[in-house]
């Protein structure tokens, strides 16, 4: 930095410039923060509005309008209805549970398969026919460009003959396939950052390669695995396309439920808003508390 003295013309100029850039930076940051937050704010507040509030365009709770539980009541989840039996709530919880099970299992499966493959590829050299390590890596990563629409129809027919249509297992398999390349991408980066000497020492001490992997490498790579897991979780939780095509009643996930309500006529804004809020809240909470891991996961591979 240029040395700044207090009372010279040049210093004033430097100072004004500094302040101007500060203000510009914070203005830009705040603008984008509003752009990011407003839709979420709008959705959550709308779930507490009544029809007149929506029509008058009231924005700020307690100032413009009095929050009511109307929207959440239509989901059976207001303080008044929470003790009673509610079919809507049952329905919602069933979808919620489906989403949870499917995304958790698919992410777990993908992290297990992906970590193993990534470790193997980063440590040993393979030859499957004409394919060497770089070809195998490319084979895995190239699955990323496969558009879901290509697989959707064959899977529909395949699942029909396997009686896997409208089942959680079917979705879990597909979602695992969908996130596997991303997991391998992240984990390969992780394992390449771990020095081989660690395993060599473990081998000298009498562990097998699997022992060395499970006892020495895995604990070190754990943060990376968590990152990959959370990223997979987000992708699976939000997936709509396969779920819409391959499920009908039993295994339907939350996005499908949200989408099916959107199509219905007449604006039931408060109940749609409540449903949307309930669908996005879990991941918003994940984002707030596990932001570090999400960023780590996405940054992997970007920087070598």
Partner 1 sequence: MSNTEGDLLHTVTADNIPDARRRFGKAIVWGSALLVAVLAIWQMAFETGRIASGFQTWRPVLYAYMLWATALCAAQVIVNGEKGKRTLFVLPAALFVISLVVFPLLFALYISFTDWNLASPNGPQPNGWDNMRQMWNDGFYWNALKNMVYYVLAVSVEYVIAFGLALLLNAQIRARKFFRVVFLLPLMLSPVAVSWMIGKSMLEIRFGPISRALREFGVEPSFFGTPEIARFMIMAMDAWTFIPFMMIMLLAGLQALPREVIEASKVDGATGWQSFREVIFPLMLPVSVTAIVIRIIFKLKLADIIINVTSGGPGGATDSVTSFIFREYRDRSNVGYGTLLAMVYLVLIVIFVTLLLKVVSRWMERPA
Which lies closer to partner 1 via its Cβ, residue 78 or residue 133? Answer: 133
Which lies closer to partner 1 via its Cβ, residue 55 or residue 82? Answer: 55
Which lies closer to partner 1 via its Cβ, residue 100 or residue 238? Answer: 238
Least separation in angstroms between residue 240's CB and partner 1 is 5
Number of residues assigned to the chain: 304
Least separation in angstroms between residue 85's CB and partner 1 is 27
CA-CA distance, 199 to 197, in Å (whole number)? 5
Say if CB 194 and CB 267 are below 8 A apart.
no
Least separation in angstroms between residue 184's CB and partner 1 is 7
Which lies closer to partner 1 via its Cβ, residue 54 or residue 101? Answer: 54
Which lies closer to partner 1 via its Cβ, residue 86 or residue 121? Answer: 121
Count Cα neighbours of 75 within 13 Å in the Cβ-side half-sphere. 27
Least separation in angstroms between residue 203's CB and partner 1 is 7
Least separation in angstroms between residue 42's CB and partner 1 is 6
The one-character DSSP state at 303 is B
Smallest CA-to-CA distance from 34 within 42, 24, 44, 25 is with 42
Smallest CA-to-CA distance from 108 within 192, 27, 173 is with 173
Which letter, b or e, does each residue of 264-284 get, where b requires 16 or more Cβ atoms within 10 Å of its Cβ? eeeebbbbbbbbbbbbbebbe
């Amino acid at each position: 930095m240029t040395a700044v003295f207090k009372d010279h013309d040049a210093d004033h100029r430097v100072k004004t410039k500094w302040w101007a850039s500060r203000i510009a930076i914070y203005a830009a940051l705040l603008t984008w923060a509003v752009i990011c937050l407003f839709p979420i704010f709008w959705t959550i507040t709308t779930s507490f509005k009544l029809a007149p509030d929506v029509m008058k365009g009231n924005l700020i709770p307690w100032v413009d309008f009095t929050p009511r539980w109307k929207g959440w009541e239509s989901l059976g989840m207001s303080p008044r209805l929470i003790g009673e039996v509610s079919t809507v709530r049952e329905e919602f919880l069933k979808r919620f549970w489906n989403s949870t099970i499917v995304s958790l299992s698919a992410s777990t499966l993908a992290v297990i398969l992906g970590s193993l493959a990534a470790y193997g590829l980063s440590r040993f050299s393979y030859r499957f026919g004409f394919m060497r390590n770089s070809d195998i890596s490319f084979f895995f990563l190239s699955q990323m460009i496969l558009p879901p629409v290509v697989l959707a129809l064959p899977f529909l027919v395949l699942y029909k003959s396997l009686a896997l249509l409208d089942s959680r297992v079917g979705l879990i398999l597909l979602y695992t396939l969908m996130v596997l390349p991303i997991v391998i991408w992240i984990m390969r980066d992780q394992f390449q950052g771990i020095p081989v000497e660690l395993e060599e020492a473990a081998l000298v001490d009498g562990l097998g390669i699997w022992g060395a992997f499970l006892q020495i490498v895995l604990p070190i790579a754990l943060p990376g695995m968590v990152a990959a897991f959370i990223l997979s979780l987000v992708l699976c939780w939000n997936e709509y396309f396969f779920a819409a095509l391959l499920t009908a009643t039993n295994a339907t996930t939350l996005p499908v439920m949200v989408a099916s309500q959107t199509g219905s006529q007449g604006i039931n804004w408060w109940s749609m808003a409540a449903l949307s809020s309930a669908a996005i809240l879990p991941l918003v909470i994940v984002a707030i508390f596990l932001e570090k891991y999400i960023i780590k996961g996405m940054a992997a591979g970007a920087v070598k």
